Amino acid sequence: MKFLHTSDWHLGRSLYGRKRYGEFGAFLDWLVKLVSERSIDCLLVAGDVFDTPAPSNRAQALYYRFLHRIAASSCGHVIIIGGNHDSPTFLNAPRQLLRSLDVHVIGAMPDDPREEVIVLKNHRGEAEAVVCAVPYLRDRDIRSSRAGETVAEKNTRLLDGLRTHYDTVCQLAAQRRPAEKTIPLVAMGHLFTSGATTVEDDGVRELYVGSLLRLEAGAFPETIDYLALGHLHTAQKVAGREHMRYCGSPLPMGFGEASRRKVVIGVEFRDNIPRIDEIAVPCFKHLLRIRGTLDDIDKAIAALGEREENIWLEIEYEGMEGTGTIRERLEEMIDNTPLEILRVKNRRLTEAVLRRGNAGETLDDLDVFDVFDRLLDAHDVKGHERDSLVAAYREIVTSLNEADDNAE
């Protein structure tokens, strides 16, 4: 049986205000073609289908058009789980309708874990594989709050909850395997694992209150023949294990990962042994970061301009002139070229300013946790009090990120 593992589409995501619907559409067109060319039996989408809980009409149109085309292809099954960016109720709303197309959607942890176990059958009604479609597990799904808990205690109980849930679902899946033959057991998930790597500017969000919370590879049941994970945007193995994989996002989410190879993962089972193939995703829009002095940048832009290709640029200027002046000169450099500058960073000047204070700093240089840290610095909050406030703030941010505005 042939599977194709993809995740983290983030449909609707923009980059410094620029819409990327053309790239998303081109990727989905390519994916439909790939599924047909490779005679894929089951497509696995491991979360973060959309970038926000309330996706735009255009993002929704891309999603439903894709599912309609896949349903009309040779692909017999599609399994989609919710990620931390997705609204569970939004994903689940059309699930009964989509089932008629053999598209299975698990937006959030259901009340009955048996709903996460999906037996895939061929046209003769014979079971060919069983899939544990475990979505992103929210804090409130697997842990109840206790007064006076420390962050370490919360993390321990979260990890215990994750392990227990995977054990439960995989045991149920093992029971659904037919007695007369052995079929592969595939598990899905959307989470952080221990030792996994992220890349600067890739947009990956911490999931739980404890920023170092990671699930060990050994915590997953040994009955899993292939583990299809989402959340991290860089393709990688889990603790070096061949059958445990992140496929990564198909598009670079920021300039920091623009040079990374993007893939989807083909998995073909023969005698329950997965043969794994990383399939390169074409580049649908070139992103490029240029660093250096004005002379360095001028030479790089001149060389790019000769390619006559629309490329989005992030400039990291390493001089000390003001960013406003530099921006004007950079715009002159790209005049009469198809190049576009999306962002200009003046790293040396920013570092110098930060050493003197916060004047001149922009929110582009900070995330929500940086802002809170600056506030604590301003009020000289230190020691245990600071640790407690940071933990409480992380819990509030996590709760806000997990709120499902579509739920009633």
Our CA angle for 316, 290, 307, nearest 5°, is 150
pLDDT computed for residue 241 by the predictor: 95
Q: Are residues 175 and 300 in the same domain?
A: no
Tokens of 166: 């995977």
pLDDT computed for residue 155 by the predictor: 81
64 part of a folded domain: yes
Of 215, 249, 280, the last residue of a domain is: 280
Q: Are residues 211 and 357 in the same domain?
A: no
Tokens of 391: 């933990």
β-bridge partners, 123:
none
Q: Are residues 111 and 173 in the same domain?
A: yes
200 part of a folded domain: yes
**Residue 302 belongs to domain with CATH number:** 3.30.160.720
Instruction: Record the pTM.
Output: 0.85
407 part of a folded domain: no
The candidate with the shortest Cα–Cα distance to 108, out of 190, 164, 226, 193, is 190
38 part of a folded domain: yes
Q: Are residues 381 and 345 in the same domain?
A: yes
Q: Are residues 267 and 292 in the same domain?
A: no
Q: Are residues 267 and 318 in the same domain?
A: no
Q: Are residues 316 and 396 in the same domain?
A: yes
49 part of a folded domain: yes
pLDDT computed for residue 307 by the predictor: 84
Cα separation, 353 vs 345, in Å, equals 13
**Residue 46 belongs to domain with CATH number:** 3.60.21.10
Of 265, 280, 295, the last residue of a domain is: 280
Q: Are residues 388 and 262 in the same domain?
A: no
Q: Are residues 207 and 271 in the same domain?
A: yes
408 part of a folded domain: no
pLDDT computed for residue 196 by the predictor: 83
**CA max distance for the chain:** 74
Starting at the edge strand found earlier in the chain, the sheet holding 226-230 runs 117-121, 127-133, 185-190, 226-230, 241-246, 236-238
Tokens of 376: 């604590």
β-bridge partners, 288:
313
Q: Are residues 196 and 233 in the same domain?
A: yes
pLDDT computed for residue 121 by the predictor: 93
Q: Are residues 87 and 138 in the same domain?
A: yes
pLDDT, averaged per 10 consecutive residues of the chain (408 residues), comes to: 97 95 98 97 97 96 97 94 96 95 95 96 92 93 75 83 95 91 94 85 63 79 97 95 96 91 96 94 95 91 88 88 73 91 76 48 62 77 80 71 63
Of 280, 301, 328, the last residue of a domain is: 280
Split into its structural domains, the chain has a count of 2
- Residue 241: enclosing H or E segment and its boundaries? strand 241-246
pLDDT computed for residue 187 by the predictor: 98
Domain of residue 124: give its range.
2-280
Tokens 């973060």, residue?
Answer: 48
Q: Are residues 45 and 167 in the same domain?
A: yes
204 part of a folded domain: yes
